[in-house]
Amino acid sequence: MKKILLILLLLLLSGCYDYNELNELGIVSTMFIDYKDEEFVTTLEILNTNESSKEVSYMFNGSGKTIESSINNCFSNAFLIPYFSHMYTVIISEEVAKDKLENLYDYFTRDVDYRKDFYILISNDINEIIKYEPKNKLSIGENIKKIIENSENKNAKYIVNNYREILDNYLNNNNYVLGSIQIDNDNLTLSDNFLISNNKLELKLDEKAVLFMNVLNNYSSTFQIDSKDSFDIYEYKADTKVDKNKIEVSLAGNARILNLNSEKTKIDVNINNIEKELETYVKDYFYKCLEYAKNLNKDIYNFNFLYYKYYPNSVDEDTWKTIDYDINVDLKINEKGLIFDSVGEEAYEN
Amino acid sequence: MVNFMNSSVQYIKDFYKDNPDFILRKIDVNWKDKVYVLFFESLCDSGSIYNFVLKNLYDTNNFSKKIFHIERVLSGPKLVKVESEEKIFYYLENGFCVVIFKKEIWALEVKANIDRGITDSQTEPNMYGPKDAFCENYQKNLGLIKRRVKSKNLICDSVDVGEYTKTKISLIYIKDKVSNKTINKIKNNLNKHRFKDVVDSFDISKNIESNKVFPTIFKTEKPAIVSQFLLKGYAVLLIDNTPFVLILDAKLKDFINPSTTDKFVIILRYLCFILTVLTPAIYIALINFNQEAIPTSLLINFSEQRSGVPFPAIIEAFIMLFVCEILRETDIRFPSSYGSSASILGALILGDAAVNAGIVSPIMIIIIAITFITNLIFTEIKLVWAIRIMRVTFLITSSLLGLYGLSLAIILCLIELANVKVYEGSYI
């Protein structure tokens, strides 16, 4: 009897904490945050879950002194309960990126309703994206998520960090990159990468530096090198070793020939030579990326933080500039393409 | 002596005067002595009575042979000397023919074949194993077991229970496979209960079962399964007039997976047990409390499907479970000769009309269908009852506290399961 009473008390006194009927939820797909006239203007894209309506999503907007108050104003007249656990992306204006990033992180870190795996992107024209009507039956947020996922798999030209990664850099006072999105030819596309330093938007990064950053952190599973020829580098591993006076960056992996220029397509071409040329090219490419950072006078690859991990007492602000770098590249071309096998000697002789 | 016979026979005749099937034959063997043959026409086989008793008596009479020992005239295979007058009633009511000559009373077994014979199992059909099932005849049932377990160590302790029914029940076990301690425990438990009348095996099991919710006594109508359990070291109760043999004390795994050794089937049955118990509760917890655990596209799908439904999901779940329970009960009780009208009607109402009317969502139909299809694997009625109780408990807790409540209920359920008392070992 006591046991039954205990169970009943436990269940009945606790009530239905956190109970929500599914149809009453406003599932937020994307959050747009702008800063105008000393107020945050927030627009939320809510997914449409009503079968009878053809709209994919609805937009609700509100403004306020804080992000929280602007979001509350979005829902003040709505019949739905905001639900943020399925939010894919947060798109912020350049104004927010320049000056209000700390407010943004403060809000997302304090609120437990948010998952930490949504992406943050910058847009130079946030209203244009809000008004964008996708050509498929997906919401803006779902479209952006698909673009990011495709970009991660196919090339290393863009860096789109999710909130967890950003928070990690933010808490370690590291420099980090925020990607941006724009509408190009009536299509949503990823565009420039911006360097964020001291939680402020600093500058637009060169594509080559972004690629090096992606490779250095092993973010991308594959990346493409376009010298005179085109190669795809895959199954690679980049490693960074820190010595007292030297930082050693090594890259080892496999390469696939995508396209050779006309002189090399002959059958007697020596693959070892191509391999050596590729290694030299990648090595030079990486040295140029290091030079690029030195010219900017920004530790965009966070070598100082890396050095600090090993030699906390020896690091100073310019360590990353003064230290020597040694880059080793070991790539094996193991997929030559069909040209050497199927289009054989006879094909050229004829 | 003559007085004894006359008065005694007269007493029995008077006692059964309202039973038209009671037959009393008086056969004169000489000018002085008479043989009385008493039996119930409904319980005895008249052919056997003629062959084993009457024919011999008349032959003796015709050839004017003197009868010195009546037992030499009675040629049936099972002949018992009745020591007291009271026992006459017992033998008569158990299909024996009672022969009274001078001061000797003999009972000869001439039972009529009033059972349906050995048929295929209706409740536990299988494709490749033995097909035969127990019937209502105690002797045949015992024979079916002994045909499989041919051992001198197979013990069969019998006792008659019930004031009116006097049903024979036997505790059967293999002596060297079950400890004396376990047997004593079972016997003590059986002796503890006074069974008023036993018509069905359920009359015994409801009294000796140690837990109100979870089954501990496994009922089967398959001799092959009984033999397997006997060989595993279990004791069984064989009850007259019922095709269901009770296996004492089975564990939870024996109910979920009673006979198969195929590992895939074993995993499948365990999976079905988990699914039938937890599916509605997990669904309710996910869509009402823990929506973040569902992939977004699925969540939108669920939400779209539920957009026109007027009831909260939990009420919808209870309505559907209730309707399905009614359908299940109808399907069991409805005579098969009426065809499948009940099933068709149910399927139409549940599958199409209810969704079109906006009373339930299609996803709820899928959830309930998974719940009930996986439930159909289990035929043991007490297990089905336990599953039903667990399902409703989990559903209520998950509707109050989501996945947290469900985890809490699962832990309590496991504690309760671990607490179930069995004669040997643990229940789970």
**What percentage of chain A reaches a pLDDT higher than 70?**
89
Same-domain pairing of B147 and B224: yes
pLDDT at residue B267, as a whole number? 92
Structure tokens at B247: 């296996």
Structure tokens at B401: 């506290």
CA-based nearest residue in chain B for residue A50:
B304
Same-domain pairing of B315 and B367: yes
Q: What are phi and psi of B145, to 5 degrees?
A: -75, -45
Whether the CB of B402 is below 8 Å from some CB of chain A: the reply is yes
A84, A28 in Cβ contact below 8 A? yes
Nearest residue to A192 (alpha-carbon basis) of A201, A118, A298, A218? A201
Number of domains in chain B: 3
> Which of B90, B109, B128 marks a domain boundary?
B109
Residue B50 lies in a domain: yes
Same-domain pairing of B267 and B243: no
> What interface predicted TM-score (ipTM) does this complex get?
0.74
Distance from CA of B383 to the nearest CA of A (A): 22
pLDDT at residue B387, as a whole number? 94
Structure tokens at A273: 């030579």
Residue B158 lies in a domain: yes
Residue B424 lies in a domain: no
pLDDT in tens, B245-278: 998 888 888 888 877 778 898 999 999 999 999 9
In the predicted structure, residue A200 carries a pLDDT above the cut 80: yes
- Local confidence band at A342 (pLDDT 50, 70, 90 cut-offs): very low
Distance from CA of B410 to the nearest CA of A (A): 13
Nearest residue to A63 (alpha-carbon basis) of A80, A43, A47? A43
Residue B408 lies in a domain: yes
Task: Give the CA-trace dihedral at B282, B283, B286, B289, to 10 degrees.
Answer: -90
- Please write down the long-range contacts of B402-408, taking CB distance under 8 Å and 24 or more positions apart: B402/A18, B402/A19, B402/B285, B402/B288, B402/B289, B402/B290, B403/B282, B403/B285, B403/B286, B403/B289, B403/B290, B403/B293, B404/B289, B405/A11, B405/B285, B406/B278, B406/B281, B406/B282, B406/B285, B408/A10
CA-based nearest residue in chain B for residue A138:
B297
pLDDT at residue B127, as a whole number? 75
Structure tokens at B232: 């595993």
pLDDT at residue B283, as a whole number? 94
pLDDT at residue A121, as a whole number? 92
Cα(B385)–Cα(B380) distance, integer angstroms:
9
What pairs with residue B168 in β-bridges?
Answer: B160
Whether the CB of A37 is below 8 Å from some CB of chain B: the reply is no
Cα(B78)–Cα(B74) distance, integer angstroms:
10
| Subunit contact A52:B307, Cβ cutoff 8 A | yes
| Subunit contact B408:A10, Cβ cutoff 8 A | yes
Whether the CB of B317 is below 8 Å from some CB of chain A: the reply is no
| Subunit contact A22:B397, Cβ cutoff 8 A | no
In the predicted structure, residue A262 carries a pLDDT above the cut 60: no
Residue B130 lies in a domain: no
A323, A311 in Cβ contact below 8 A? no
Same-domain pairing of B267 and B359: yes
Whether the CB of A17 is below 8 Å from some CB of chain B: the reply is yes
Number of cross-chain residue pairs from A and B with Cβ atoms under 8 Å apart: 67
| Subunit contact A20:B304, Cβ cutoff 8 A | no
pLDDT at residue A90, as a whole number? 93
User: What is the sign of the dihedral through the CA atoms of B405, B406, B411 and B416?
Assistant: positive
Same-domain pairing of B228 and B275: no
Nearest-CB residue to A85 (from B291, B307, B402): B291
> Which of B200, B219, B250 marks a domain boundary?
B250
| Subunit contact A21:B288, Cβ cutoff 8 A | yes
Q: What are phi and psi of B119, to 5 degrees?
A: -125, 180
Same-domain pairing of B69 and B165: no
CA-based nearest residue in chain B for residue A15:
B400
Whether the CB of A115 is below 8 Å from some CB of chain B: the reply is yes
Whether the CB of B314 is below 8 Å from some CB of chain A: the reply is no
Cα(A33)–Cα(A42) distance, integer angstroms:
5
pLDDT at residue B65, as a whole number? 56
> Residue B308 CB: number of other CB atoms within 10 A?
15
Whether the CB of B18 is below 8 Å from some CB of chain A: the reply is no
Same-domain pairing of B350 and B205: no
pLDDT at residue A43, as a whole number? 92
| Subunit contact B288:A20, Cβ cutoff 8 A | yes
In Å, how far from its chain's centre is CA B365? 33
Same-domain pairing of B270 and B414: yes
What are the residue ranges in chain B where pLDDT is below 70? 1-6, 60-68, 337-340
Name the more confident of A88 and A338: A88
Structure tokens at A108: 């997302």
Distance from CA of A159 to the nearest CA of B (A): 24
Distance from CA of B248 to the nearest CA of A (A): 28
| Subunit contact B402:A23, Cβ cutoff 8 A | no
Nearest residue to B132 (alpha-carbon basis) of B116, B114, B152, B154? B116
A61, A78 in Cβ contact below 8 A? no
What pairs with residue B206 in β-bridges?
Answer: none
Cα(A203)–Cα(A216) distance, integer angstroms:
20
Whether the CB of B216 is below 8 Å from some CB of chain A: the reply is no
Nearest-CB residue to B401 (from A14, A83, A115): A14
Whether the CB of A19 is below 8 Å from some CB of chain B: the reply is yes
pLDDT in tens, A6-44: 777 766 666 666 777 888 888 899 999 999 888 999 999
Sole residue written with tokens 């086989």 = B45
Residue B126 lies in a domain: no
pLDDT at residue B2, as a whole number? 42
In what helix (H) or strand (E) does residue A301 lie, and over which residues does it extend?
A: none
Whether the CB of B188 is below 8 Å from some CB of chain A: the reply is no
pLDDT at residue A350, as a whole number? 44
Same-domain pairing of B310 and B386: yes
Structure tokens at B374: 């996986």
In the predicted structure, residue A67 carries a pLDDT above the cut 80: yes
Whether the CB of B14 is below 8 Å from some CB of chain A: the reply is no
Domain architecture of chain A: domains with CATH:
23-205 (no CATH), 208-350 (3.30.300.210)
- Which chain A residues contact residue B305 at CB under 8 A? 51
- Report which residue type is found at B196: K
The C-alpha angle B93, B95, B99, rounded to 5 degrees, equals 90
pLDDT at residue B173, as a whole number? 92
Nearest-CB residue to B307 (from A12, A16, A49): A49
| Subunit contact A16:B400, Cβ cutoff 8 A | yes
Same-domain pairing of B334 and B271: yes
Residue B144 lies in a domain: yes
Residue B114 lies in a domain: no
pLDDT at residue B118, as a whole number? 82
Same-domain pairing of B270 and B399: yes
pLDDT at residue A335, as a whole number? 66
| Subunit contact B304:A50, Cβ cutoff 8 A | yes
- Which chain A residues contact residue B398 at CB under 8 A? none
The per-residue b/e assignment along B323-358, b for 16 or more CB within 10 angstroms, e otherwise, is bbeebeeeeeeeeeeeeeeeeeebeeebeeebbeee
| Subunit contact A20:B291, Cβ cutoff 8 A | yes
The secondary structure of B120-145 as a DSSP string is B-SSS--SSS--B---S-HHHHHHHH
Residue B39 domain boundaries: 2-109
> Which of B200, B217, B250 marks a domain boundary?
B250
B86, B64 in Cβ contact below 8 A? no
Same-domain pairing of B97 and B234: no
